[in-house]
A and B are shown apart, each in its own frame.
Chain A
């Protein structure tokens, strides 16, 4: 087995000049999926996506085909919302799709809407993506002018309109029901579920909210078939019940922080965190690795001892963290873990929508504890207090939350994992009454106490054969 390397599918030709125009996009095979798409029955397409093993790239990793099969056929109208509110710290792959290859998203939306019998789609795009919105709006205009949107999409008896809708700087609008509320012209406060959006979503109608990257995968599956798609990625045998063992396709890994060559790397799922770091040129200046956040800031942190875990949905779930958005944040030996956690909790304290008391009050409380530890003002017992406060927003051990949405667990996951896995460094701050950055080996809780990823799973993995 060789080393993992980039395999550009979604990002293919991303750097070709004027790829954002329909002319260049078509010259490179764009919109080819429509020839096959309209020859297929929608129900067959749902089965196809289900069989492909495509999983939602926004964070939860739920089977896209399964999600689509929940959408009622007999209710009109239905809506599709493309989630382009990319706000998870450490994540920036959708930005480049929107700016450089916006027609790929439009093609994905056409595929999804035909499959689901949807005639109106909204792209909820974060307000700060100004160039992305300009490019996407221009691309939509071109698509109308070329007969790919409107009353008769590609000459078929099928109508589809796509509208962009800009957010205004609120992270929580990336949560699917927060997004729906925001689209309806309200504060982006998530709804209680059920009812789920597939039953009652935007404007009280059945709604599918789907991440940009997920949608962009669909035309490639329609074009090249299930077998082609399933040949990429990793599959596991003997997984615990409730764990989806299939991780088909590539993933747009975003790597940032203390790394030589930060950027988006599209690779078949299943390479390890260490392999991705190597692919991106290694840790900055040859420094020692201290920690890696594998899936956007909400994902529980990994110590250097855990970085042989494959970056796919199944393995990261087994390692008690998550694939999330694929935002990989690398930290080297110079980082003070209390400082890093305070920074993240500051983010969450600012972004809590304020609906649920445990989150609204608990998040700043956790932030304050972390901050006073960082400043050398922590008291004995503060590390446990931090864990307890966070676990009372959402409990990472029982996986239950005292909040309406999963924002709560997105707070307690980093808080608890930082505090547990880097406990010696947090305790040193309290003991010495000042900010202390310990050497990596001393900062980390011994691996046997925090390492969750079972080696047995590694042996059962059918990983891609890099060649």
Chain B
């Protein structure tokens, strides 16, 4: 499973490298992984080997990073990532119901992907939008003041 950046992403990577001192090229690891994951969908072994070569470190060191940060996926995920916040302010505002509703609707448990590979459902720590609790993110977009009806509308709207 080899991986390499598309020409556009390679250009962006080269630009990112200039943000850090030359002798600390490894600093570009996180931005590079974000970029690779946006292209590949997850941090595959191929991604990790490629990034290691690009930033001048070892695949083990890249893996060390990937396994530390919850936003990097070590396994393939669905087309859409749904992250439901479960930390105290959302808990106080009824996120348990939202999670239950989502599991029922999608027919999966938390941290699972639907059989058709469309949606990965994740439970996540505080998303820093507690005034809109309960909240979730669908990919890059935040949705707050959730009700089961609003969740239905959002999920049904995904292609």
Q: Which residues of A contact B88 (CB under 8 A)?
A: 89-90, 257, 293, 297, 329, 340, 343-344, 347
Cβ-closest chain A residue relative to B24 = A203
A130 at interface (Cβ–Cβ under 8 A)? yes
Q: Does A306 contact B (CB under 8 A)?
A: no
Question: Cβ of B7 < 8 Å from any Cβ of A?
Answer: no
Give the nearest-CB partner of A122 in chain B.
Answer: B19
Q: A169-B71, A187-B65, A344-B88 are in contact. Are A129 and B34 (CB under 8 A)?
A: no
Interface residues of A in 144-189 (CB under 8 A from B): 163, 165-171, 182-188
Stretch of A55-63, A258-266, A396-404 that contacts chain B: A258-266
Quick check: is B110 within 8 A (CB to CB) of the other chain?
A: no
> A86, B128: Cβ atoms under 8 Å?
yes
Q: How many A-B pairs with Cβ below 8 Å?
A: 143
Cα separation A38 to B55 with both chains bound (whole Å)? 38
**Given A131-B140, A256-B89, A343-B87: A166 in contact with B126 (beta carbons within 8 A):** no
Number of interface residues of A (CB under 8 A): 53
On chain B, the number of residues with a Cβ less than 8 Å from chain A's Cβ atoms is 43
Task: Mark the stretch among B99-107, B112-120, B130-138, B146-154 that contacts chain A.
Answer: B130-138
**CB distance B70 to A169 under 8 Å?**
yes
Q: Give residues 87-146 of A contacting B (CB, 8 Å).
A: 87-92, 94-95, 122, 126-131
State A329–B133 Cα separation when bound (angstroms): 12
| A347 and B87 contact, CB distance less than 8 A | yes
Q: Considering only CB atoms, which chain A residue lies closest to B26 in the complex?
A: A185
| Contact bitstring A314-337, B, C-beta under 8 A = 1, else 0 | 000000000000010101000100
CB nearest to B89 among chain A residues: A256
Docked-complex contact A168 and B125, CB < 8 angstroms? no
**Beta-carbon nearest neighbor of A85 in chain B:** B128
User: When chains A and B are docked, how far (Å) is the Cα of A113 from the Cα of B31?
Assistant: 24
Q: Is A273 an interface residue (CB 8 A)?
A: no
Given that A185-B65, A187-B68 are known contacts, is A254 also in contact with B130, CB under 8 Å in the complex?
yes
- Asked if A168 contacts B72 (CB within 8 A), the reply is yes
Q: How far is the CA of A263 from the CA of B89 in the complex (A)?
A: 12
Q: A204 — nearest CB in chain B belongs to which residue? A: B24
Across the interface, which residues of A come within 8 angstroms of B64, CB to CB? 186-187
Is B155 in contact with chain A by the CB < 8 A criterion? Answer: no
Contacts of A91 in B (CB 8 A): 128, 130
Q: Which residues of B contact A130 (CB under 8 A)?
A: 140-142
Top 7 nearest A-B pairs by Cβ distance?
A185-B29, A168-B69, A256-B130, A130-B140, A168-B71, A169-B70, A169-B71
Chain B: residues with CB nearer than 8 A to chain A? 19, 21, 24, 26-31, 33-34, 55, 57, 61, 64-65, 68-72, 83, 86-89, 91-93, 124-133, 137, 140-142
Apart from A88-B126, A169-B124, list 14 A-B contacts with CB within 8 A.
A89-B88, A127-B34, A127-B69, A130-B142, A168-B33, A169-B125, A170-B69, A185-B30, A187-B65, A203-B27, A297-B88, A329-B88, A335-B92, A347-B87
List 19 A–B pairs whose Cβ atoms lie within 8 Å, in order of A's numbering: A86-B128, A89-B87, A89-B126, A90-B88, A92-B129, A128-B83, A130-B140, A130-B141, A131-B142, A166-B34, A168-B33, A183-B27, A185-B26, A255-B131, A262-B131, A262-B132, A329-B89, A335-B92, A353-B68
